[in-house]
Amino acid sequence: MTTEPEIRKGLAGVVVDYTAISKVNPETNSLLYRGYPVQELAASCSFEEVAYLLWNGELPNAEQLAAFAADERSQRSLDDAVKRVIDELPLTAHPMDVVRTAVSVIGALDPTWADASPEGNLTKSVSLFAKLPAIVAYDQRRRRGLDLVEPDAELGYSANFLAMTFGEVPSKVVVDAFDVSMILYAEHSFNASTFTARVVTSTLADLYSAVVAAIGALKGPLHGGANEAVMHIFDEIGSADRAEEWLDAALAEKRKIMGFGHRVYKNGDSRVPTMKAALDTLIVEYDAPELGELYTALDDAMQNRKAIKPNLDYPSGPAYRLIGFDTEMFTPLFVASRVTGWTAHIMEQLASNALIRPLSLYNGVPERHLE
Ligand SMILES: CC(=O)SCCNC(=O)CCNC(=O)[C@H](O)C(C)(C)COP(=O)(O)OP(=O)(O)OC[C@H]1O[C@@H](n2cnc3c(N)ncnc32)[C@H](O)[C@@H]1OP(=O)(O)O
Ligand SMILES: O=C([O-])CC(=O)C(=O)O
């Protein structure tokens, strides 16, 4: 008698490989990047330092950081060919499609695309890290009928990102909150988009192909697209006093409440308290208490009805709204951050590669033959 193999839908609970990049521990509700708690990194480091850590395994010393920052700052501008392609894309294209296309064009223009050595892939990773803010900022501005703002090599990553988007550097509170969001979004083990990048890499396709595929996976509302979807929900609800009534109707319709729930964390996402604290600073900065009230009202109602905790997308959506980004730009912001984690995983996959090719159990029509 043959026993049927166990099928784990969605690979839930399946451990597929080792990683030394990050550890998600739902029991202790913690997240470590290269051994460091992400909360400590968010409190004491810049996003540039965290990117360096993810790629190199150690935090940079002052000299290494200066060299890394100079390298990043020198690569922030977009090639004219990339700008032209972005200009050609209609405004009906979702900003994630614009980012995906722009990264694809950058890959096609890179004559060293096939160099998959660790040095070659690190060079490509830093280049994408440096250019993604320009892509996102340019797309945000063109949607508002505004011209591109050139990068400023005097500014750090987040201050420059915001200056390229809004034409000026906002207050330190805003830059710091944005930087914290970039750090928190950077890496999260074998999530769907990172696993996608690893699957593509496992075929020995190039880094750009893996990143483009990962962007596609991140777009969906069950993954990165949830930060955008949270804001649509907030707009539907309108104000805190309507949250319970809205939630009951949504649950009665069997809707998934975006920004809540997680495949790995069942007792709350380790990053939420840090991002909620950053959101709170923005609520004060922009004098927007009603947004905080709505946040709390929906969260409280969700705990009463379903006891499902918020994930990182729940506080980051309203934070990006307050900073001034259009809602559909939120997931591209996630891309700008997660490109660090994706590329670290691409290099880790290549360092000990095995083609990723699981099995399936056939349940179609039995064997049959042409007459
Ligand atoms: C940065 C990130 O990518 S974090 C994730 C962002 N995604 C979201 O916020 C989308 C909303 N959340 C969800 O859809 C889910 O919680 C996921 C996809 C994130 C995780 O889902 P899974 O691990 O597959 O859990 P699953 O979907 O099986 O949920 C288990 C139960 O909780 C319910 N549930 C889970 N999340 C939610 C939610 N957000 N709203 C309503 N019910 C939910 C499910 O309906 C299911 O109920 P059932 O057992 O009665 O059918
Ligand atoms: O880990 C996951 O499944 C989703 C997530 O939170 C992330 O990618 O940051």
Q: Which pTM does this prediction carry?
A: 0.97
Judged by its nearest atom, the ligand closest to the C-alpha of residue 257 is: 1
Structure tokens at 196: 């996608």
* pLDDT tens readout for residues 331-358: 999 999 999 999 999 999 999 999 999 9
Which residue's CA is the nearest one to ligand 2's atom 2? Answer: 191
* pLDDT tens readout for residues 253-273: 999 999 999 999 988 999 999
Mean pLDDT of 296-325: 98
User: Is the pLDDT reported for residue 281 higher than 80?
Assistant: yes
State the distance from the centre of ligand 2 to the C-alpha of 172, rounded, in angstroms: 28
Return the ligand 1 atom nearest residue 251 CA. 41
What confidence tier does 1 reach under pLDDT thresholds 50, 70, 90?
low
* pLDDT tens readout for residues 156-165: 999 999 999 9
State the distance from the centre of ligand 2 to the C-alpha of 109, rounded, in angstroms: 31
User: Is the pLDDT reported for residue 3 higher than 90?
Assistant: no
Domains contained in the chain, CATH given = 72-219+332-351 (1.10.580.10), 226-322 (1.10.230.10)
Ligand 1 environment, Cβ below 6 A: 10, 222-224, 226, 256-263, 306, 308, 311-313
* pLDDT tens readout for residues 71-122: 999 999 999 999 999 999 999 999 999 999 999 999 999 999 999 999 999 9
Half-sphere exposure of 219 (CA within 13 A, CB side): 14
Q: Strands of 30-33's sheet, edge to edge?
A: 22-25, 30-33, 36-37
- 144-176 b/e (C-beta count within 10 Å ≥ 16 → b): eeeebbebeeebbbbbbbbbbbbeebbeeebbb
Q: What integer best gives the mean pLDDT of the chain?
A: 97
User: Is the pLDDT reported for residue 238 higher than 80?
Assistant: yes
State the distance from the centre of ligand 1 to the C-alpha of 364, rounded, in angstroms: 29
Return the ligand 1 atom nearest residue 311 CA. 4
Distances (CA, A) of 177 to 96, 201, 228, 249: 23, 33, 18, 33
